Amino acid sequence: MSERIARFSALVAQQPVNALFRYSLAQALEAAGPERQAEAIEHYRLCVASRADWMMPRILLGKLLLRAGDVAAARVLLEDALALALAQDHQDPEAELRTLLASL
């Protein structure tokens, strides 16, 4: 287990409702490769559920779901993320999401 995964796993164990720790753990798991993808997905799902206005976990979860072949679930998340990008005036994510959604 990488140092980063171990560190954030310990933090999540101490504070399981801390969405920022889960987000960091999800990123570390995703970076560890495809064999840790399912674990990353679960932590991103918890992040998405924790805040209706949190765009980044929706984008990252949507991309992971695309790689996993779940296009329908990914589309819902990416469309939600696009709405947030527009509402929050995040132009770079908006452009990326429009391109990604157009390719589906």
Go through the chain and tell me how many residues it has.
104
Report the predicted TM-score, pTM, of the whole model to 2 decimal places: 0.94
What stretches of 15-69 show up as alpha helix (H) in DSSP? 19-31, 37-50, 55-68
Is the Cβ–Cβ distance between 80 and 58 less than 8 Å? yes
The per-residue pLDDT for range 38-70, each reduced to its tens digit, is 999 999 999 999 999 999 999 999 999 999 999
Q: How confident is the model at residue 1 (pLDDT cuts 50, 70, 90)?
A: low
Angle of the 55-68 helix axis to the 19-31 helix axis, nearest 10: 30
| Residue whose C-alpha is closest to residue 64's, from 86, 96, 37 | 37
The per-residue pLDDT for range 71-91, each reduced to its tens digit, is 999 999 999 999 999 999 999
Cα(7)–Cα(15) distance, integer angstroms: 12
